[in-house]
Structure 1
């Protein structure tokens, strides 16, 4: 059953804390669920908004994400001191229900779940990042997902996204303000 209320059709761009250490963030994206699924699971499409990395679609399958955030937007904006040109993360698939749900491990956190729901001709993508316990990491993860999802939405709509690092710098203090200390 779909809730077709205006709020449901146009979710707030900002993530929320669905639990004290769990970020939930949504985007209503153009196109069918299958198209969004391809942007989640195909390395060549995923690298345009998040990170590259070949992914065998099987529960337990390991894979590596490779971030090159300077390549996501042109211009990329000012990369903060201490941020590397490239970042890698070993992950594995923990749950798989194509093309509706993908759950993966994510470093020392409780993992990330991507849920896709058709809403008319669009797709509601919900990202849930669990057990992000330390506040600095929570703020970084929140600004990061927000920015990466904005890049995805722009790419899928054929638009040019805001410079990646400038948006991260703008969003971290906003998430600090929005989330209780």
Structure 2
């Protein structure tokens, strides 16, 4: 069983270019799995995009972060209203593991583990070489996962962009130079 004593809202670097971040979510595991794999549910906390559940299947993630929360907060000038990313499923073990490519990085893995009536979600984003990208990705995963926790608990999440901006500053300090 996974050690929960070290569960922290902030992600940690497990190696210089790999971020690991965890959240404890209300179960059952099948419900969490649907929030990872079904476009209509995933768009409520991360990005839309239909996935064919088979290794090698291509898909596109479409972010519209202004639509995640109401109000959305103040979007940084460097971001547009929409962002798209072509991906491909690299590992699949429903409802425990989903991994896929992510742009120029080493990819993202979602792992689920049932712990009592909760589900531990571990997100690992590998080989994020550029520091600015690592900071943005760290704040992004943190903010998006906070929205997932709120949505699954039936709560209203705070403004996405305001949260992301504050978290990016936090990660800049936490992850050092």
Q: TM-score category by the smaller chain? A: over 0.9
1:180, distance to aligned residue in structure 2 (A): 2.4
Corresponding position: 1:79 with 2:81: no
Give the 4+ runs in structure 1 shifted more than 2 A.
Answer: none
* Superposition pairs of residues 94-105 of structure 1, within 5 angstroms: 94-105=90-101
What's 2:20 paired with?
24
1:84 match: secondary structure: coil
What's 1:15 paired with?
11
Corresponding position: 1:162 with 2:176: no
| CA distance, structure 2, for counterparts of residue 179 and residue 59 of structure 1 | 33
1:82, distance to aligned residue in structure 2 (A): 1.9
Corresponding position: 1:177 with 2:177: no
| CA distance, structure 2, for counterparts of residue 24 and residue 130 of structure 1 | 9
| CA distance, structure 1, for counterparts of residue 114 and residue 40 of structure 2 | 23
Aligned alpha-carbon RMSD (Å): 0.9
2:105 match: secondary structure: coil
Alignment match of 2:42 (pick from 46, 57, 62):
46
| CA distance, structure 2, for counterparts of residue 93 and residue 122 of structure 1 | 26
Corresponding position: 1:128 with 2:124: yes
TM-score (norm 2): 0.98
TM-score (norm 1): 0.96
Q: How many residues align?
A: 177
Runs (5+) with no aligned partner, structure 2: none
